[in-house]
Amino acid sequence: MEAGLVTPILVRFSGIQKTYDGEHLVVKHLDLDIKKGEFITLLGPSGSGKTTTLMMLAGFEVPTQGEIYLADRPIKNMPPHKRDIGMVFQNYALFPHLTIEENVAFPLSVRKTSKAETQERVKAALRMIKMETLAQRRPGQLSGGQQQRVALARALVFNPQLVLMDEPLGALDKRLREQMQLEIKQLHETMGITVVYVTHDQSEALTMSDRIAVFNDGIVQQIDRPDALYERPVNSFVANFVGENNVLSGTVETTDKDYCRVLLAAGGTVMARAVNVSGAGAATSLSVRPERVAIVPDGASSDGANRLPAKVQNTIYLGDHALAVLDVAGNTEFMVKLQPGAHDRLRSGESVFISFRPEDCLALDPV
């Protein structure tokens, strides 16, 4: 990316490994650069090493091998309180014996900031989260969303060079979570801070991030912009983890530059983009997004699109759209996103055909 050439690197993970028990590596190998002002999300299932990575950056865990640089300074052996990194925790971790105001003032008071300046900055921080009127309350008297706002203000009030967020919205309900996502995103944009965000919720990651690092099994699978991650996953894990995905397994028959012909295990051939296949004869998993598939009445292809016979299992009505669950080449949970009003025209057990373009079908590593 061109931007990377001009934007300075704030954090650099270099050859990081981490093990807790001396047998299993939680983080197997990590090289990751985080640019100044960037909102980067570490996305992955639990146990993938994303939280461990965050904890190493915060200073609560020490890498078994490798070095972490913060603004070009190695920080592996620097205690957390000297790193100048703000952190927002999953359960907010607001100090229960202090008022909201005292909580927000805490990072300033341990830095021996003058009284007048502390007062001014705390006020500004509370104004930013629209909670000036609740300054004298205790954390226990606030709702989850309010507590999370205070935690945010507390992590930002001392102008840290980096803010870490460890699944900060995990304890909130869906509507509040979506609202907070936008608020956090807005804060990031207006304040120009660098944010490292950990979540296992892929839609949250897609909504908020400049870049997403997908973790699995202690390895970063792919680091990319949200749209690139969705449109061009490099392997089956990313394709399956980010967004809805249909998988068809088969064997590569022939390859031709960017495309390959794949013989499906259940019979039939499909043209697909060769993304992650070794060559002819290799097993592969095809990935097709539900919204890139159309249901058509007959199997005759005129435009070079792939056509496969399918049987309707049922339809799922979701309000803004509907899904058809099909049986396609042995995959009985093949999802197709339907146009509004189309769902009641399909009957269970009905035989139809599906159509998708070769560029929307990715041949990836076998699952």
Partner 1 sequence: MTAASLTGADVKTNVSLKRRLKRAERARQIKALALVLPLLLFLLFTFAGPIAGMLWHAVDDHEVRQVLPQTVAALAGWDGKDVPDEKAYAALASDIQAARAAGTIAIAAKRLNYAQNGFRTILTSTARNLKAMPEPGTARETLGKINPAWRDRATWTTIRDASGPVTSFYLLGALDLVRNADGAIVAAPPDQAIYRDVFGRTFLISLGVTVLCLVLGFPVAYLLATLPPGRSNLLMIFVLLPFWTSLLVRTCAWIVLLQSKGVVNDSLHWLGIIDEPLRLIYNRFGVCVAMTHVLLPFMILPLYSSMKAISPAYMRAAASLGASPITAFLRIYMPQTLPGIGAGSLLVFILALGYYITPALVGGAADQMISYFIALYTTETANWGLASALGAVLLLATVLLALVYGKLVQGQQVTGGMKN
Query: Which residue reads 């925790």 in tokens?
Result: 89
CB of 187 to partner 1, least distance (A): 17
With 0-12 CB in 10 A as exposed, 13-18 as middle and 19+ as buried, what is 14?
A: middle
CB nearer to partner 1: pick between 78 and 228: 78
Find tokens 């973790």 and name the residue: 215
- Residue closer to partner 1 by CB (options 78, 367) is 78
Q: Name which of 73 and 82 has its Cβ closer to partner 1.
A: 82
Min separation Cβ 41 and partner 1, Å: 19
In angstroms, the CA 290 to CA 276 distance is: 20
Q: Which residues bind partner 1 (CB under 8 A)?
A: 58-60, 79-87, 89, 91-97, 106-107, 110-111, 138-141, 147, 154-155, 158, 164
Residue 94 or residue 270: which is nearer to partner 1 going by CB? 94
Least Å from the CB of residue 113 to partner 1: 10
Of residues 206, 197, 264, the one with CA closest to residue 230: 206
| Residue (144 or 268) nearer to partner 1, CB | 144
Q: How far is the CB of 216 from partner 1 (least distance, A)?
A: 26
Max intra-chain CA distance, the chain: 77
Residue 137 carries which DSSP code?
S
C-alpha separations of 118 from 99, 110, 158 in Å: 15, 11, 9
To partner 1, the closest distance from the beta carbon of 60 in angstroms equals 6
Q: How far apart are CA 247 and CA 362, in angstroms?
A: 10
The tokens describing 353, both together, are: 């055909």
CB of 6 to partner 1, least distance (A): 30
* Helix (H), strand (E) at residue 149: helix 144-156
Nearer to partner 1, 145 or 233 (CB): 145
